[in-house]
Structure 1
C-alpha cells in the first residue's frame, strides 16, 4: 500500500503522533480489517521490539485471537504491543469481531472464530458490542446481530466460570472475602431459551410432550378463571447438564478448591432435582477418589442457604449454578470483590481442553467517547490482560510448555503488584479506596507502563 494511502487509512485516535509517523516508514505491515471501517496495522512499537528482542518464549501451538470494540479494542492492541509480541514467539489466528465487520460478514466471522477455537483449543477474546436498537441505528447495521459470546457459547458448549482478581490493597464491599469465589454458570437453557406469553383471559394452560413415535402427553399447569396472566415454558437437557458437571468437577480439581452445586430442588423437585442427581452420580462414579486425594469436597446446597453462606464465608471455593443464578451471582461476587474490572471470565468445555478467556466487562463506551475527543482516559485494563494470560496458561498446560505458563503468571503478578505494592492504579480502583483526586490515579497508559517496568524487572531477575 502506498504511504499516502496508508496514512489516510490509519485511525488517528489509535497512535500517538510519533507512532503514526513511524507507521509510514515501517516495512512490516499486516493489514487487519478494523471495526472502525479502516485499515489498522501492527503497531511499529511491537515491530521494533520484536526485532530487538534477544530471546522469545516459543508458544508451540496457535492461539485464536478475537478482536473487539471501542475502548477495549484500543487497550487490546496496546497489550499485544507491550506484553505479547515482545516476549512470545506466537502464532495468532486473528478474527475481527468488531461490530462493523460482523455486520459486513453477516456475522459469519463469529461462527468462523468459534470453529477456529474448536480446531486450536484456545481462544482469547476482547470485549465486544452486543447491539441494541440504538447501536443498530448508530452503525447502520443490516440487523440486530446476536451476542458474539452467546454464539460462541452455543458453538462450543461448556461452562462459563467467572473468577475475581484479588488485590489486597483494594477494599472489598464484603470485607470477609479473602480468597476467590469462582462462579460456574451453566450458560444453556432455562429462562434464557424459554418461551413465554401473556395470556389474555380465562382458560386452561397445559404443557404437551410428544415422544418420538409415541402419543402426546399433556400436563395441566393452571386453570385461569378470572382474567389472564403470564406463562413460561423452559427446558434443559441431560447432555448439557452432564457437560456442566464434568467441566465444574475438572476445574475444582485443577484449582484444588471445593465445589458446591446449588439449586432450589425442594420446590422444583423434578427440574432442579435432575441437576442435583446428575451431579451426584457423576461425582460418585468419576471424581470422588480424586477429590478425596486432593482433600477437597463436593456438596449440593440449596441456593438460598448457599448465598447466605457465601456472604459469611472467607471465600476459596467454586459455586456451580444454573443459568439465571449464575448470571446474578457472578455480578454480586464481582462487585463484592471491588470492581467488574477485576473479574475474569473463561469458557471451558467438558473435556477440559477447549477454552476461551475474556474480560467480564463490556467495551467501556463512555471512556471511548472521551478518547475520541482526545481526552485522557483511565480505563482499567487488568481483566483484558488476564484474558490473555489465562489463555496462555491454558495453552502452556496443553502443550506442556511451563515457560509459557510461567511468563503468563509473571505478567499477572506484575499487574497485581503494580496496584498492591506500587500503589499505581486506574480511577475505578482509586475510587474503591476512597480517593478521587487526579494525583491518586493513573491513566491507562501510565498504568500499563508501570506494569511493563515491573514485568521487565521480574523477568530480568529470573534470567
Structure 2
C-alpha cells in the first residue's frame, strides 16, 4: 500500500521528506519517514541514544493519506491518531497494518504521544493533539505512560509530565464513558449482568483538582472566597485539637452542565435509561448542585425526547445505585461524579470479566467531538518480555475497539454507511473470534483457570491474525 505524507510542524529535514515521497511513488517500500519512534530504554532510541535528541527537532504532527484502490472504503474527513507507549504501541501498529489500512482510504493526523516525544516537546504535542481533535471531531488514542518518579529516572525526563488523558479531558471538556465488550463464553463475576452497563465519569474537578494539606497541630481551618466584586465569604470548617488533614475541592456549573449534556446524549443515542448517582443527602450543596443541574438540563432539552423513546432519567443516591447495579441485568447509562466513576468503572470491568474487554470514549458536551481509547494501560510486563524477544499473549481487543468506536463516530458525522458497516464487521469479527475459542491468555485464564496450557490461547500476533481472517470472511468484496 502506498501512503503519502504531508508534514505538520516540528520536523527536522523537509528535503529528506520530499525525496522520500518522490521515491515512494515509484517504490513504496523505499519510503522511510523519519518519525520519532518510542523505545522503552532512552539509550536505545531510533536516533542513536538519548544524547542525540538535540540533533533533531521533535516531531509533533504528521498528516498521512493512505491512498488505496477503489475497493477500499473512502473516509471523507480526517481522524486524529495519538500513538502511545510500550506493548500497546506494538499492537497498535499491528492493528493498523492488518485491520485498518487494508480496508480504508483514510486521512490521518498523526501525533506521537509516546513518553519520549512528550518529553522532547515539553508536552506541547499532547495539547496540540487535543486541539486537533476539536478541529476534526474524532480522535483514536493508544494507551500512554503517565510518569511517576521511577519513570522520570528510567527515561531521564525533564519533568514528571501530567497524564495525557487528564490534559486531553480538560481541553475537550467531556465525559469519559466506559462500556464492556460482551463475549458469550467469557464468564462474568456478576452472572446477572446480561446487558452492557455504560458508565459515564465526569472528567473534571473534585478530588482530582483538589488542594490538600497536612495539619501539624491545633488551630482553626477556614475556607475563604474572595469575589471579584461583592462581599467576602468566610466559612469555619474545623477547630483542630491536634494533627490531621484537610482538603478543599471544587467544581463549576459549566462543566457539570456539559457532563449532563454528554450523559443524556449518550443515553439517547443508545436508547437506554440514564441514572445519576450522588451523595446529596450529605453534600447537600455540592452534590445537590449536580442533581439540580442535571434536572434542569433534562427538563429543558431532553425530557420530551426521552419520553418519546420510552426511556427515562433518574437521580439515585450512590449507595442505592451500587446496590441496584449489582442486582440489575444491565442496559443503562450510569453517570458518576469524578471519583465515583474512577472506582465504579473498574468494578464494572472486573464484574463483566476483564479490563481487556472494556471500551473507553471521551465525548464532548455537544456530542460532536469524541476521543476513543483502550480502558487499560500500556501492559509494561508484556513489553519487558517483548524487548527480550520472548513470546507475549497481549489482549488487543480494547485497542481494536478504540479504532472502531472512533471510526463509528466518524461514520455518523459523515453519514458514511459503508464505514459504519465495516466498523460493525470488525467488532463482530473480534467477538466471534473469541467465541470460537481463539483468544489471548488473559481470557483463557478466565475460562480454564490458572493452570491453562498453551494450546488454549494464541500469542499477540496470532490473535490479531485470527481477527483479520474473520474480517476477510465478512468483507470479501473489499479483499478481491
TM-score (norm 1): 0.90
**Residues 316 and 62 of structure 1: CA distance in aligned 2, closer, same or farther (over 3 Å):** same
Give the Cα separation in 2 of the matches to 1:28 and 1:59. Answer: 23
1:376 and 2:391 matched: yes
Give secondary structure in 2 for the equivalent of 1:184: strand
1:240-255 superposed matches below 5 A: 240-255=255-270
Deviation at 1:201, TM superposition (A): 1.4
* Structure 1 residue runs of 4 or more that deviate by more than 6 Å after TM superposition: none
1:392-411 superposed matches below 5 A: 392-411=407-426
Give the Cα separation in 2 of the matches to 1:108 and 1:222. Answer: 41
Give the Cα separation in 2 of the matches to 1:337 and 1:320. Answer: 18
Give the Cα separation in 1 of the matches to 2:131 and 2:151. Answer: 27
2:50 alignment partner in structure 1: none
2:242 alignment partner in structure 1: 227
2:46 alignment partner in structure 1: 38
2:439 alignment partner in structure 1: 425
Give me the CA root mean square deviation.
1.7
1:185 and 2:201 matched: yes
For 2:357, which of 331, 342, 347 is the aligned residue?
Answer: 342
1:446 alignment partner in structure 2: 462
Give the Cα separation in 2 of the matches to 1:449 and 1:199. Answer: 57
Structure 1 residue runs without a partner (length 5+): 1-23, 40-49
1:16-415 superposed matches below 5 A: 26-36=29-39, 37-38=45-46, 55-224=71-240, 226-415=241-430
1:95-138: CA deviation from partner (whole Å, max 9, x where unpaired): 00000111111111111111110111100000000001111111
Give secondary structure in 2 for the equivalent of 1:230: strand
Deviation at 1:30, TM superposition (A): 3.2
TM-score (norm 2): 0.87
Query: Are 2:137 and 2:368, in contact at CA under 8 Å, matched by a contact in 1?
Result: yes
Q: Which moved more, 1:376-385 or 1:52-61?
A: 52-61
Give the Cα separation in 1 of the matches to 2:68 and 2:144. Answer: 33
Deviation at 1:227, TM superposition (A): 1.1
Give the Cα separation in 2 of the matches to 1:26 and 1:379. Answer: 28
Query: Are 1:186 and 1:323, in contact at CA under 8 Å, matched by a contact in 2?
Result: yes
Query: Are 1:53 and 1:86, in contact at CA under 8 Å, matched by a contact in 2?
Result: no
Query: Are 1:65 and 1:95, in contact at CA under 8 Å, matched by a contact in 2?
Result: yes
1:307-337: CA deviation from partner (whole Å, max 9, x where unpaired): 0010001111110000000000000000111
Deviation at 1:229, TM superposition (A): 1.3
Give the Cα separation in 2 of the matches to 1:297 and 1:414. Answer: 33
1:459 alignment partner in structure 2: 475
1:5 alignment partner in structure 2: none
| Aligned positions, number | 429
Structure 2 residue runs without a partner (length 5+): 1-26, 40-44, 48-65
Query: Are 2:81 and 2:139, in contact at CA under 8 Å, matched by a contact in 1?
Result: yes
2:53 alignment partner in structure 1: none
**Residues 345 and 52 of structure 1: CA distance in aligned 2, closer, same or farther (over 3 Å):** closer
Deviation at 1:53, TM superposition (A): 5.3
Give secondary structure in 2 for the equivalent of 1:33: coil
Give the Cα separation in 1 of the matches to 2:142 and 2:296. Answer: 37
Give secondary structure in 1 for the equivalent of 2:213: strand
Query: Are 1:53 and 1:87, in contact at CA under 8 Å, matched by a contact in 2?
Result: no
Give secondary structure in 2 for the equivalent of 1:159: strand
Give the Cα separation in 2 of the matches to 1:122 and 1:442. Answer: 32
Give the Cα separation in 1 of the matches to 2:125 and 2:68. Answer: 34
Query: Are 1:177 and 1:315, in contact at CA under 8 Å, matched by a contact in 2?
Result: yes
Give the Cα separation in 1 of the matches to 2:158 and 2:192. Answer: 49
Give the Cα separation in 2 of the matches to 1:127 and 1:311. Answer: 29
Give the Cα separation in 2 of the matches to 1:165 and 1:150. Answer: 24
Deviation at 1:285, TM superposition (A): 1.2
